[in-house]
Structure 1
Amino acid sequence: MACSALLLIPLVGLIYVHLNQADGRAYNLVTDLDRQIPFIKGFIVPYLSWYGFLLIGFLYLAHKDRRNYYFTILEMVMGLLLCYGVYAIYQTTVPRPELTETDWLLRMVEWVYRSDQPFNCFPSTHVLTSYVLMRAYLRTNRVAIGYKIAISSMSLLIIVSTQFVKQHVLLDIVGAVVVAEGVLYVVERIRRNWGTEAIKVHAQQHNLDRGLRR
């Protein structure tokens, strides 16, 4: 039952499918620093591992810290909806390199390029989701430090891979982190208020029980 909540993420992702097409003017956020970042085909492997990474990361989090798991899904859905809102009003594009070779790594890159049109890049949902899951592991005290290091390392590798396979630019990372931090702040306030209200209700119930016993 807990794992079924994960279906919210692909369900919300259907919005992206609708938005991932040319719709008038698309802005280019490439900077001089982006132009100095080389295309490295090997990074397509961590880039595509994002799908399995999220699934395994969420399942283990659900096993170890159920409450944190639910809040992380909420954060991710909120973040994705904010990203899609930006896509709807401010479409961006990323120029892709011309692929001339035909080895298996480049065939994987070609598959990604065919499947995902070069639009709606700012903020990056690859970065957003990897960052949110990393933060979820870092804030819990129910997961061993080794798992935290593994999740954080993989998250950062996926984030870096978005640059080397030329699916995103540096500003896409910045935008995703800003959105993620904003959502994390809002949800943390909700968590604290929820906890405070629960304590108040418990205290009132305790006082009522004591009064009845007297």
Structure 2
Amino acid sequence: MDVRLLQVRSVTKNVKNSRYARQNFAELLDTATGGERIAIERMGHVAAAVVSPAALLFLESIECAENVDQLLAALSLKEADGRPMVRPDLGASLMIAVRERRGGPRGIMELSRAVPTHRDGKVVLIEFGDDDAIQDGSIHTSTGRDGQTLLHGWLEVTAPDRPLALELTNGQRIDTFERNGNVLSFQRVPVNGDIELEFTKLRY
């Protein structure tokens, strides 16, 4: 069977053959006006469909969209009875994706606002959280046997699949983490030169 037909049937449960459509067209119009979509088959394949005015507006709005804003507006359209044309979570996900793509890589948390811990006049630990991207986390330094500064930390993130990177004040970037569910961690990362830990930035 045609895969496209399976896809249509998975969404449009009301499927009529073309003879039935010719004989009962007024009934199909009433059904479509109520917001139900009817697929019309000919020789086992979907040849046409009868849809509501709202569904037609939805299709035409997507077809005629000239930019992302117009496309998102089309995805927010609803049937006359208030039912959304697409799943609400899909529309929300697309809006988030567009917002992130527009912004490009940008600081989503200025870690300088985090709570610092000082030792010998220098920040050696910062703790942060309660952000739309980071629920909790901390970063701290230690000194290796050879005097090398090492960085350790963990981040409990709201979206584990979102690419994240720490940018240090020396220009060094940390974007490789061990992942355990929503927790990203790193241990004993050598720091190339002096850094001001309190001015670390988190970017995606």
Report TM bin, short chain: under 0.3
Instruction: Tell me which of the two structures has the higher relative contact order, counting C-alpha pairs closer than 8 angstroms and 6 or more residues apart.
Output: 1
The structure with the larger Rg is 2
- Choose between structure 1 and 2: higher strand proportion: 2
TM-score w.r.t. the length of structure 1 is 0.24
TM-score w.r.t. the length of structure 2 is 0.25
- Choose between structure 1 and 2: higher helix proportion: 1
